[in-house]
Amino acid sequence: MSFNEIFNNLDHWKKLILSSTSFQALTKTKTDLLGKKGLITSAFKSMQTLSVDEKKEFGAKINEIKEELESAFSEQQKKLEDYEIASKLRTELIDVTLPSNLHIGSKHLITQTIKRIKSFYQARGFDVIDGPELETEFYNFDALNIPEHHPARQSQDTFYVKNQAGRLLRTQTSSVQIHTLQKIQGPVRMISIGKTYRNDQLDATHSPMFHQMEGLVVDEKPLSIGHLKNELKKFIGFFFDVDDVSIRFRPSFFPFTEPSMEFDCRYKKVNGNVVLHKDGDRWLELGGAGIVHPNVFKNCGIDKKLYGFAWGIGVDRITMLKYGVSDIRNLFDTDNRFLKHYK
Ligand code: DAH
C-alpha cells in the first residue's frame, strides 16, 4: 500500500475501530494495522528507500496516523470494557433485599443443656468426666454390684454386641463411677453426662438412646444423706432457676447404693406447665440416689475406708420438663422447626 493510500484510509480505519463490537474484532484490526507485520509497521520499514527529506515528511505523517489510530483503539477498548461491566451488572444482579436462604446451624437443645450443667459443676470444683459408651459387663454391671440374676442384665434391657462376649452399650452412666474410682482410688467430686442405651420401644417417654447424668462425691470423712440432699437441691435450684427447692426421698433399691432412694421435687401446674415451687402440691420424680455401697469401692480395688454418695438424673427428662417438651421423640427426630425454636 502506498503512502498516499495509507493517508486516505485513515478515516475508514477509524470508523472500523470505533464500530468494533467485540474485543476479538478490535484485536484483529489492531494486529492488521499496528502489529509486527501490520500496515503501519510495514510503512515505516519501507521508508528506508526514501531520501532524507522524504523520510522527514512521511515519517511525521505516519507517526501522526499511528497516534490517531492508537487513541481510537484505546477509546474503543474502554467502551467495550464499560459495556461488558454494565451487562454483567445487569445479568448477575444480586438483590440484597431478598430474604437469605442461608441456614446457620445452632446447638441442639440437649447439647446446650449438657453445656450448662457441666459449667455449673465445673464452677463448683467438680471434675467432669467422660466415659465410654461401648462398655463391658464389668463396668456396667459387675463392679456396680449388680448380680448376674438382676433383671437389668437380661438382654431385653441391654444391647449386647454380637459375637463379643461381655461387650454392651452402657445402660447407665453409673459405669463412669467405676472408671473414676479405679483411677483415683480416693476422694473425688465428679459428674459425667452422656448417652445411654436400652432396648426400649420408642414412644413419647422412652427412647432406646437417651442421656443420663451421674454424680459422685467421695470423701475420707463420713458423708450423710443430708449432704446428698443439699447437693441435689443446689443442682435442681440452678437447673430450674428457682431459689428454694423442696425435695423428698422415697426408699428404693439400686445395687450400688445402700441405702437407695428416689428423689422427687415439689411443683405446681401453672397453665398446664410444670413450675417448681416449694409450696407446690404435686411431686415430680427426678432421679435415683444413695450412699455408695462398700462393694463398689471394693470392686474398684480400694481397701481404705471411704464414704460416698451418688445420684443419677435423666437429662432428657429434666430438659423436657424445663422447656415444656412433651414428647422425647422431638429431641431426636431432627425436625428443623424444633431445632430452630430452641436455638
Ligand atoms: N443408674 C441409675 C439408673 O439408670 C440411676 C442411679 C440411681 C444412679 C442411684 C446413681 C444412684 O448414681 O446412686 O436408673
| pLDDT tens digits, one per residue of 173-205 | 999 999 999 999 999 999 999 999 999 889 999
In a 13 Å sphere around the CA of 13, the CA atoms on its Cβ side amount to 25
Q: Do the bridges between strand 188-197 and strand 127-128 make them parallel or antiparallel, or are there none, so unpaired?
A: parallel
Q: Does position 340 have pLDDT exceeding 90, yes or no?
A: no
Q: What is the pLDDT of residue 152?
A: 66
Question: Higher-confidence residue: 66 or 93?
Answer: 66
Question: Which residues surround ligand 1 with Cβ inside 6 Å?
Answer: 172, 174, 214, 254, 257, 288-290, 310-312
Cα of 132 to ligand 1 centre, how many Å? 17
Whether the per-residue pLDDT at 150 is higher than 90: the answer is no
What residue's CA is closest to ligand 1, atom 8?
312
pLDDT given for residue 234 in this prediction: 97
Amino acid of residue 169 = L
pLDDT bucket at 148, cuts 50 / 70 / 90: confident
Q: Which atom of ligand 1 is nearest to the CA of 290?
A: 13
* C-alpha span between 172 and 177 (Å, rounded): 10
- What is the pLDDT at residue 143? 97
Please say if the pLDDT value at position 296 is more than 80. Answer: yes
Which of the listed residues 178, 311, 318 should we mutate to test ligand 1's pocket, taking the one with most ligand atoms within 8 A of CB? 311
Q: How far is the CA of 80 from the centre of ligand 1 (A)?
A: 78
Q: Is residue 48 scored above 80 in pLDDT?
A: yes
Over residues 313-339, mean pLDDT: 92
Nearest CA to ligand 1 atom 12: 311
CA distance 45 to 52: 14
Give me the half-sphere count of Cα atoms (radius 13 Å) on the Cβ side of residue 287: 25
Residue nearest ligand 1's atom 6 by CA: 312
Atom 13, ligand 1: residue with shortest CA distance: 289
Select the more confidently predicted residue: 238 or 38.
238
Name the band, by pLDDT with cuts 50, 70 and 90, for residue 23.
Answer: very high
Handedness of CA 182, 305, 259, 234 (dihedral sign): negative
Q: What is the pLDDT of residue 343?
A: 81
Beta bridge partners of 247: 265
Dig out the grid coordinates for 24 from the structure.
Answer: 476479538
In the reported structure, the alpha carbon of residue 267 is separated from the centroid of ligand 1 by a whole-number distance in angstroms of: 22
- Across 24-44, average pLDDT: 90
**How far is ligand 1, taken at its centre, from the CA of residue 256, in Å?**
8
pLDDT, tens digit (0-9, with 9 covering 90-100), for 248-270: 999 999 999 999 999 999 999 88
User: Nearest residue CA, atom 7 of ligand 1?
Assistant: 288
Question: pTM score > 0.75 for this model?
Answer: no
Neighbour count for residue 45 (Cβ, 10 Å): 10
Task: Give CA–CA dist 164/142, Å, rounded.
Answer: 17
Ligand 1: residue whose CA is nearest its atom 2 = 312
**Per-residue pLDDT tens digits for 198-236:** 998 899 999 999 999 999 999 999 999 999 999 999 999
Report how far residue 144's alpha carbon sits from residue 36's, in angstroms, rounded to the nearest whole number: 93
Is the Cα torsion angle 296, 301, 307, 308 positive or negative in sign?
A: negative
Please state whether beta strands 257-270 and 282-292 pair in parallel, antiparallel, or not at all (unpaired). Answer: antiparallel
Task: Report the candidate in 162, 159, 180 with the shortest Cα–Cα distance to residue 170.
Answer: 159
* Average pLDDT taken over every residue of the chain: 92
pLDDT at 21: 93
Q: Which atom of ligand 1 is nearest to the CA of 196?
A: 4
Q: Residue 43 in contact with residue 6, Cβ under 8 Å?
A: yes
Tell how far the Cα of 201 is from the centroid of ligand 1, in angstroms: 21
Which residue CA neighbors atom 4 of ligand 1 most closely? Answer: 172
Q: Does the pLDDT of residue 333 top 90, yes or no? A: no
- Alpha carbons 291 and 223: distance in angstroms, whole number: 8
> Mean pLDDT throughout 101-118?
89
